[in-house]
Amino acid sequence: MKMRLVLSFVRPGAKPDPTFADAHCAGPGSNLAISYGLQHLGPGPAQQRFTPQRIRGDDEKKSNFIHMPLSLSTLWTDKKKRSLLIQTAVIVALVLFAWTVISNTATNLEKRGIASGIGFLSQPAGFDIVQTLVPWEMSMSHGRVLLIGILNTLLVSVLGIIAATIIGVLMGIARLSDNWLLAKLAATYVEVLRNLPLLLQVYFWYGLTLMWPKVRDSFDIGGVIFVNNRGIELPVPQFQDGAGIVLGALLAAMIGAGLFWHLAGRSAEREERPLPRGLICAGLVIGVPLLAALAQGFPWTWDVPVRKGFNYRGGLSVLPSLVALWFALSTYTACYIAEAVRSGIQSVSRGQHEAALSLGLKPSWTMRLIILPQALRVIVPQLISQYLNLVKNSSLAVAIGYPEIMSVFAGTSLSQTGQAIEIILITMVFYLTVSLTISFFMNIYNRRVALRGEAGQ
């Protein structure tokens, strides 16, 4: 059974007159449809003119398309066909416009002696890049610079998204806590960070990293980790023969744990005293690879950073600019995520909570099984836009020299080649692609957690 809310708007004072304007809204949510029947001036079948459009279901919509009669005389008078005609015209005009812009720009650039085209992408760049996730030589091309910039953007974005989500969820839940102090602290956090310009926060964290100890008095953690204002020097494992087996064991344990979690989860809903799933999974993931490592005699050594000459050599050096940007992005975005989480939880009606309580569910179960699944429907769309914002905000890296795409490609490559138009366009395409990809996946997820079907069904 379908339930719909139908609203009709009429001009105040006027008697309901379908020839003027009427709008029908149908709820809830995605089934919303609004249609206007504007006063018709041109010729056309009188009946169609004056009958307000009905709100159609999906199947009706389809049949409407199929049965559209193809006659030239109705090309303009038929609303459907007219809109199709206009849309086609707009697309053709847009393509033509884009083509003129591009060809004109190219000829004009040439006339002014400014290089154009994307040939520069294969020209050697000739400068150093501080952090590269793929091998880099100064004789490599600007195309490679683009790749490095993209990877560095993705690195800080992924790190930022993970941290922001964790902080945001904790803060969001804390804001609703019964513990007064905790709730107030979380509220203050959100209010303060949300109201300071992000660039300022980036500078703040970056300024702090400059105040870390100098190399010669690096902060020493157990003789293996060193912190100074040039970076955080971490040891990295160097794998030897047999490491593959340990890694394989880890992977297998993770897959096994996942499967177990899923299967045990099903029965857990029925059983009175379910297995301690978390404990067993943790044991699997840690224990199995540990046994494998023992059997292989720990097949790795540690490359520990050592002070040599001016700097630390060996190990992995994490850039202060990466740390600063990561902190700034994740703490800032976490505010908005906290708000999303809070509004999501509050959107679940109090009755759900009380019902769960009266059924005798543990509070942690109530949260996990009753509240969160429903709250997610409200939270996820907001998360999408916050993740998108975080990726875009990562471009503030230009201010502190972290080598992501804006800084290294739309900054350094741009000024070394002077090809501003091409480089800015490529950069825009990159951001657009990332944004659309994130929206795409989050929308799929969103559709999965959204309420299925319609109310009353």
Partner 1 sequence: MRIGIIGKAGLASLLALGIWASIWGSASAGTLDDIKARGVLHCGTGPGLAGFSLPSSSGEWIGFDVDFCRAIAAAIFGDPKAVKFTPLTAQERFTALQSGEVDVLSRNTTWTFSRDVNLGLEFAGVTYYDGQGFLVREDLGVKAAGDLDGARICIDSGTTTELNLADYFRTHGLEFDSVIVKGADDARSNYDAESCDSYTTDVSGLASIRASLPDPENHIILDEVISKEPLGLIVRHGDSEWGDVVRWVRNAVILAEELGINSGNVEKMSASSNPEVRRLLGTEGDFGSQLGLEKEWAARTIRLVGNYGEIFERNVGKDTELGLERGLNALWNNGGILFAPPMR
Smallest gap from residue 238 Cβ to partner 1 (A): 20
* Residue 310 contacts partner 1 per CB under 8 A: yes
161 within 8 A of 168, measured Cβ to Cβ: no
314 touching partner 1, by CB under 8 A: no
Q: Is the CB of residue 152 less than 8 Å from the CB of residue 160?
A: no
Q: DSSP secondary-structure letter at 121?
A: G
Annotate each residue in 132-151 with x if it binds partner 1 (CB under 8 A) or - if it does not, as one string.
Answer: ------x-------------
Strand partners, 225: 221
Residue 410 binds partner 1, judged by CB under 8 A: yes
Tokens coding 222: 């157990």
Rounded Cα distance, 329 and 393, in Å? 7
Q: How far apart are CA 208 and CA 324, in angstroms?
A: 8
CB 318 within 8 A of CB 230: no
* Cα–Cα distances in angstroms (integers) from residue 97 to residues 84, 103, 262, in the given order: 20, 10, 54
Using alpha carbons, list the distances in angstroms from residue 178 to 12, 147, 346. 49, 48, 14
302 touches 238 (CB < 8 A): yes
- Joined together, the tokens standing for residue 164 give 């922001």
- Residue span binding partner 1 (CB under 8 A) among the ranges 7-15, 38-46, 63-71, 108-116: 108-116
| By CB under 8 A, residue 244 contacts partner 1 | no
Q: Rounded distance, CA 250 to CA 429, Å?
A: 38
Residue 120 tokens read as: 């520069």
Residue from the set 199, 236, 369, 429 that interacts with partner 1 by CB under 8 A: 199
Return the number of the residue (229 or 374) whose C-beta is nearest partner 1. Answer: 229
Interface with partner 1 (CB under 8 A), residue total 51
Among 69, 309, 360, 453, binds partner 1 (CB under 8 A): 309
Task: Write down the residue that tokens 């100064």 correspond to.
Answer: 138
Residue 255 contacts partner 1 per CB under 8 A = no
Is 313 one of the binding residues for partner 1 (CB under 8 A)? yes
Binding mask 159-198 for partner 1 (x = CB under 8 A): ----------------------------------------
Find the binding residues for partner 1 in span 85-104 (CB under 8 A): 104
Closest approach, Cβ 383 to partner 1, in A, equals 24
Interface contacts to partner 1, rule CB under 8 A: 104-105, 108-109, 111-115, 126-130, 138, 199, 203, 210-211, 214-215, 229-230, 308-311, 313, 320, 395-396, 398-399, 401, 403, 406-408, 410-412, 414-418, 420-421, 423-424, 428
